[in-house]
Structure 1
Amino acid sequence: MILGFKVLVVGSGAQGRVVAYLFDKDEDVELVKLSDIDRKALDYCARFYKKAETYLVSASDTDEVSKLAEDVDVLVNAVPTEFNLNLMRVALKAGTNYLDMALEYRDFEKVLALNERFQEEDLTALLALGCSPGVTDVVTALAADELDTVNEVKIVGASYVDSDIPYTNWAPRIFLDDCTRPPMIYEDGEIKYLKPFAEPEVVEFPGVGKVTVYAHPHEEVLTISKAIKGVKRVSMKMGVSMMDFFRTLYAMGILYENAMITEKKVKVDDVEVDPAEVIAKFLPKPITGEQFKEYVEKGIIRQATGTLVVKVYGIKNGRESVIESSFDLPPIMEIIDAVPLANDVSYPVSLPAYVAARMIADGSIKSRGVLIPEELTREERIEFLRRIGAFKPPIKVKTTTTTYLN
């Protein structure tokens, strides 16, 4: 095991600041570097760190990021996915390992094409390792190990918010972009695209209750269909805060497909406006840190939680079987007491990223090359789940198997 390792976190947003905080608290970490283009955000985060250093550097400035990465053991990418490909090249240039938490769909094949170069340099580049995607992929791969054949993978996620103020976990433009992109499914050997908010379904979630979920664009459809041989269908559905509201706006024509990358002007009296831009302007921004804790303690935000369920359908010993994994995410008060920079989404995404990056740095992940989470070895996947389940506060995964008599 390598102790006294060093890490670079690029991006001090909702996830990056939490990943940096977890490394900062880790006694085996010698140095944490946190970079961003927002000095105000860096200064705010620095108040919570003991050994982390902050750097005013843009993720697009590959030369400067390369200099920061030269002496670290792993680079954690916590900026928008448009930077993924360049930051992977930075990691190669600096001779360091790499991890991100989401995919840039249009660059997926280009990213995978770097596999041989990372292998030649004896480096690991682990893609899309957060909670979803990330933990969802790991439990899917472990379930697939138990089955003789896999027919279908179905992932559903939901959130529950009880608040006196409008509340969302994501940056407004990213949230709207996510909800209005055509969702993907894998079926009949190919990726297919649906209309936004397609295939509505009411699902009963443990700890959350009944929630309407909709087909949603997410990385798991790409990664699971690539990694799990013979799978016939892969789908992802979500039902999170404000999604029903967005669906109503979509049905009215106020929101539209690819709303954040397609301009659609309407005339209001004598003024032309893009309704999606107007909505994005008025959507609440994510609340983190001291403000979030204050709202919780005052009872303004009484609950904010979420859950995920992964169902893997297949055949075992000639019988139809379903392996179901449900996620037990920590209560919001436990999160903000342990990690004051976090909220109910940034912590469940950041903890798996921190654990996986640490496993790369300390030698527990020995797989080399460009990897999606499913491609970790079975031993690496099991150890990863053990660590996120043992952390305080933990992310626990409960798995049950149902086998049907023929």
Structure 2
Amino acid sequence: MKIAVIGVGAVGFFLCRYFLEKTDFTIKCADKSIRNLRRLKEFADTKRLTLHRISVNDNSTLEKLIKDVDLVINSATPAINRKIIEIALKHAVNYQDLASNLEDLINPEQLEYSQEFKRKGIVGLINTGISPGLTNLIAGELASKFESLDIIKIRIFEDQRPPGTIWSWSPKVLFSDILSPPLIYEKGKFKFREPFDEPEYYSYPEPIGRRKAYLVYGDEVSTLPRFLKVKNVNLKSAGSDIEFLMALYNMGLLSENSLKINGVNVSPYEILLKITKRVASIKEIIQKVKEGVLEEATFGLVVETSGKIQGERKTLRGYLIFPSIKELIRIAPGSTHVSYPTALIAGIMAKFIKKIQSLEQGVFAPEALPKVIRRKIFSELKKEGLNVALEELTRQKAIPIRIL
């Protein structure tokens, strides 16, 4: 299979690396940064890999890159989802991305093209990282066990010591997400809340334990009610990463209201963007971990569902705690607690794009994948040492449920 990967930054690099190590795919990797491309060439100089320096504003070059592949993956920015989708449609190329742009924060723009994808006989698999992505897949698996589903709760955990040592994602994207009013789905309707609203103590699986979680914006909420019959959906996050961002928000440093400083109008948000360090490079991350500057960093996710099974009210949940950054120094040196799992999930889903295409066409999120594909993805994760745990929650204990 031929694949084009647009964007080889923190996630795209490890996505290309996954394809090189775990598949026989021919890969075109494209980025505007020579540094990013050189880094990939240093890792693997192979005939299966070609590197392309491009600007996403150059439609002609993008089209040449995409037109003869089987799958194009946007691992750059959701802002170019539409552009990549339209080129993919023109040449009947399967499409995949990591997140939605969501101009109105409710309607994923990719879904607008679903009928065109069906007519072309191709697949648009959207939101395929960890959150969104694996969270959606777990929600789909759990939902399949219910006769009626009342609620889906997504609980994310991001933590690093000391807080704020590295950016797990682009600061601009993180700030944008935090400033977006959290979307919830309540009694069959989409609604907005205030950032960090409705705090609660949630009992995460060990070793995380009980932590305070806050409402934040999550793409999952925009798709789950469209593909699963559910009445309520919300997403909350806990850990030092969210608490660090909440502190910036509460101090007014994310405010876009202008202030006059020495005769110049400027907002705290503009200043913060200018002075904030960029995402650390692979070498910088390795150095920070080895020198103890970054002591630890962890990412975990939980999907909890409640509804009726055989007439009885049940609560099921699925979860996965990913390798910590100290473990990643051995597994994927230079990756972070977010970049590595995001690339891994996207890579595994991409492996099955042809099989998905043979079963179903159109644009959809991972919760809509057929059972046979879900199980294959869970199986691949298990091979990578990542076992998604499912359990039934009762008052007395958690009872394990087998997926495979």
With normalisation by structure 2, the TM-score equals: 0.90
Between the aligned residues of both structures, percent identity stands at: 28
Aligned to 1:237: 236
Shift of 1:366: 3.4
**More off after superposition, 48-57 vs 354-363:** 354-363
Matched, 1:216 2:216: yes
Shift of 1:355: 0.7
Aligned to 2:16: 20
> 8 Å contact 1:348–1:395 — kept in the other structure?
no
In structure 2, runs of 5+ residues without a counterpart are: 397-404
Deviation per residue, 1:371-405 (Å, 9 max, x gap): 111111111111111112212xx332111013689
Give the letter aligned to residue 336 of structure 1.
I
Structure-2 separation of matches of 1:338 and 1:248: 32
Aligned to 1:353: 346
Pair 271,209 (structure 1): closer, same or farther in 2 beyond 3 Å: farther
Matched, 1:320 2:309: no
1:92 to 70, 89, 92: 89
1:58 to 55, 58, 66: 55
Structure-1 separation of matches of 2:334 and 2:159: 21
Shift of 1:333: 3.4
* Residues 7-406 of structure 1 mapped to structure 2, 5 A cutoff: 7-29=3-25, 31-51=26-46, 52-106=49-103, 108=107, 110-163=109-162, 166-205=165-204, 206-229=206-229, 231-256=230-255, 263-268=256-261, 270-361=263-354, 366-391=359-384, 394-402=385-393
Shift of 1:210: 3.9
Shift of 1:109: 5.4
Structure-1 separation of matches of 2:281 and 2:335: 6
Structure-2 separation of matches of 1:165 and 1:196: 19
Shift of 1:103: 0.8
* Corresponding residue pairs, total: 391
Pair 395,365 (structure 1): closer, same or farther in 2 beyond 3 Å: farther
Shift of 1:271: 4.1
Give the letter aligned to residue 287 of structure 2.
E
Q: Secondary structure at the match of 1:301?
A: coil
Structure-2 separation of matches of 1:337 and 1:81: 31
Pair 372,151 (structure 1): closer, same or farther in 2 beyond 3 Å: same
Q: Secondary structure at the match of 2:10?
A: coil
**More off after superposition, 175-184 vs 361-370:** 361-370
Shift of 1:246: 3.3
Pair 376,294 (structure 1): closer, same or farther in 2 beyond 3 Å: same
**More off after superposition, 396-405 vs 136-145:** 396-405
In structure 1, runs of 5+ residues without a counterpart are: 257-262
Q: Secondary structure at the match of 2:103?
A: helix
Q: Report the RMSD for the aligned CA atoms in angstroms.
A: 2.2
Q: Secondary structure at the match of 2:14?
A: helix
With normalisation by structure 1, the TM-score equals: 0.90
